Amino acid sequence: MDVRPMPFDHPDAVKLNDQVQLEYAERYSDDGDVTPLDASMFEPPNGLYLLVYDDDGHPVASGGWRSHEENDEGYSDGDAELKRMYVIREARGQGLARRILAALEDDARAAGRTRMALETGMKQPEAIALYLSSGYELCVQKFGHYREFEDSRCFAKLLSRP
């Protein structure tokens, strides 16, 4: 597997984003994640977007982070928000999500971010299990686009310096 930084609007990133949106729609019976996102939000040093390619050169996983400072969506100064973590069904169970998560945390830490924050839903138990097993804690104070939704769950992890 080959992990590569890519623009959020790269055709392979768009392809995986379309697939994750379909999965969100299936799980939540809605239009998917409508959080406003723009490719510029993932440009270093204020973010990063990663794609994982299999040995045949097909994109199989993605994930990114973008910077936040204190704002009206409940983020705090120094936050890095995790977005679009996704592994295609055929590639699940190989540790790709954990690998992407660790790379994104390392990059956000190197960029001076102090906390990785994320929002997910109750109908994504695999994601919740990944985050809890990776040291994330459930946040009482919710943040993000879906912070007012009952099914929304917010998690965060301090990005301490090594």
What is the longest distance spanned by two Cα atoms in the chain?
44
Task: Give the containing element (helix H, strand E) for 97.
Answer: helix 96-110
Among the listed residues 144, 120, 123, 125, the one whose alpha carbon sits nearest the alpha carbon of residue 63: 120
Tell me what pLDDT residue 135 has.
97
Task: Kindly report, residue by residue over 28-51, the tens digit of the pLDDT.
Answer: 887 778 888 999 999 999 999 999
Q: Kindly give the pairing relationship between strand 152-158 and strand 47-53.
A: unpaired
Among the listed residues 96, 84, 25, 35, the one whose alpha carbon sits nearest the alpha carbon of residue 60: 96
Tell me what pLDDT residue 87 has.
98
* Cα separation, 161 vs 32, whole angstroms: 35
Tell me what pLDDT residue 161 has.
66
Q: Quick check: 95 pLDDT over 70?
A: yes
Tell me what pLDDT residue 99 has.
97
Residue span of the structural domain in which 29 resides: 2-158
What integer best gives the mean pLDDT of the chain? Answer: 94
- The amino acid at residue 30 is D
Q: At 143, give phi and psi (nearest 5°).
A: -145, 170
Tell me what pLDDT residue 33 has.
81
Tell me what pLDDT residue 43 has.
97
* Cα separation, 72 vs 118, whole angstroms: 16
Supply the CATH number for residue 19's domain.
Answer: 3.40.630.30
Task: Kindly report, residue by residue over 46-90, the tens digit of the pLDDT.
Answer: 999 999 999 999 999 999 999 999 998 889 999 999 999 999 999
Among the listed residues 113, 119, 16, 34, the one whose alpha carbon sits nearest the alpha carbon of residue 66: 113
Q: Domain count of the chain?
A: 1
Q: Quick check: 119 pLDDT over 90?
A: yes
Query: How many alpha carbons fall within 13 Å on the CB side of residue 64?
Result: 28
The structure's pTM equals 0.94
Tokens found for residue 34 = 């409508």
Label residue 116 by pLDDT band (50, 70, 90): very high
